[in-house]
Structure 1
Amino acid sequence: MELNCEETVQDGISRAPEKQPFNWMQEEFISELTSMWLYLEFAFAVPKQVYEITYFGQKKDLHRQLLCHAIHEMRHAEMLARIMLKWGGKPKWQLSRLPQAESYRDFLNAAMSNEARNLESYQLRDTEVGDHELKVLLANLLREDNAHLQVDQAIQQVLTAQGVIDGPLPPPRGNGQFGEDIKKLEQAAWLEIKSISRLIYASLLLGMDQSIAPRARALAIEDMQHLNRIAQEITTTGGRLTIPGEVLELEESDDFAKLLQDVIGLKNDKVRTYKESKPQFNVPGGGQLLGTLLAKEEENIVDLEAYLQSLKQYPLTVH
């Protein structure tokens, strides 16, 4: 599945900053990452090509739009981290548990609350900062988060009209009939989440680097697509993928070679787990999906090992 979600955050040209609001930027960095995972979990609870919203006169699949929101939030976090690094700071990966949701309304309330909070914070900071690059970023963050809020309100109207906004969501493990299949898919999903987190973190810390950071980011989005396919398979078997807080944790490091080694290790874990789990499914769809993902993971491992060798030969530092 190709998302091709348009990214509209633009770079500016920065000179010596008048202020370095690291504490505030760290809070917003975590808020944007939390929104990314929240939108992903929301998307996992929405079936594909069932609900549509109309935005700027165009009909959009609700599930796909939530995935695009998640990628936008990742981009927001990346831009905030880039400025922090440029000013001599370092973003901290301090994610905690996501808000628990038992209905679509719970997801929407959490998402809209986060967007409204971000808008208020960005509007306040926009009047305080004098740095050109940060002003450009804030202007774009305000515009995109306001657009997200409008889309969330449109989603609320659609789900209300369909009569499903307060309906209970499927339990994570379903009704028990395919519990073992769902458990295997959950384990695969958690490996994908850990891989996504480490790829995002590596791309953030590489800052303005153009040798590896773009590829790390592209691999993170690719893993999001794999994660979404696993989540949809869980939905097909009557369950729902949720994201435990402990799966979002990672060990911070300035050693990019170690970060890539961790990602390679996780991808090898995925290959081994997928091979072992593939023949054990009661319903063939789960095994077939993991088999499809296997080949791509093996290809990515080869690429990452080549990047690792180049890093060992030409070490990179935080920009």
Structure 2
Amino acid sequence: MTSFGYFLSCEEFTPAQLLEQARRAADAGFTRLAVSDHFHPWNDAQGNSPFVWSVIGALSQTVDLPVTTLVTCPTVRLHPAVTAQAAATSSRLLGGRFALGVGTGEALNEHILGDRWPSFDERADMLEEAVEVMRKLFTGRRISHRGTHYTVDNARLYTTPAGRLPVHVSGFGPKAAELAGRIGDGFVTMGPDEEAIGRFREAGGAGKPVIGGLKVCWDPDRDRAVDTAHRLWPSEHLPGELAQILPTPAHFEQASQLVTREQVSENVPCGDDVEEHVAAVRAYVDAGFEEVYVGQMGPGQEAFFAAYREKVLPALAG
């Protein structure tokens, strides 16, 4: 059975706004939360980027919903040992209701310390080793590790996770889907791509959850909703590997000039047509997702939560 969660966008909202959205999400009937991890927003119009681990700590004291990172990169900007400590503390604060979604990252966030941005194959290898390191640390045993990419010297987590801490692996191509099947406790992918899910299942993901979601713009004025989505999230529609290799918000703004308003209108649920929103979410259900997270773009949060509480979520449950 599919559960429906709310997606908290650290790129677009302040910490206080994210906490208020979490409260409203719980009141509206969403049963889970996902939160993004960025150092930079995708563009200056989004305008935010709080430290996700501080946000998660605050969420643990605000609502009782499970929280998943969608996703964090434990390979460049943060060493996997530090990420493991942050994740274990988050698990403890949330009473075991935390899942760590990880991915190979984007240059947008990971280049900031001046590190070379590796090819995908190298980043995938780094992620596999990082997951290995983190799982060893989650046991609470003292570990040392000398690997291809990381060294850990006599490290031990004294604050361990509250129970088993799932590590879900993100992927958008065939290699990444296969990696998720092989090393992940679940598969994170943002589109209802049945081929990718099939590769994940065949590579070892049978019986493991598939997790993802979408952004929408609920607004009684559809044209205004399209304008909002086009202004704030054109990066969602960039092709190929641009999202992984462009290094700054300014580069994304340049590339996003290629994204037309018509593309956004055709691909993003915009406006207040309940059936459009229901159909967009149901596509994930039909593709086999166990968890689907919906995020509202722009300022219309109150109207979004009211509509999903009264109309969209009941229709999905029916």
| TM more than 0.5 | no
TM-score by length of 1: 0.25
Larger radius of gyration: 1
Greater helix share, structure number: 1
TM-score by length of 2: 0.26
Greater strand share, structure number: 2
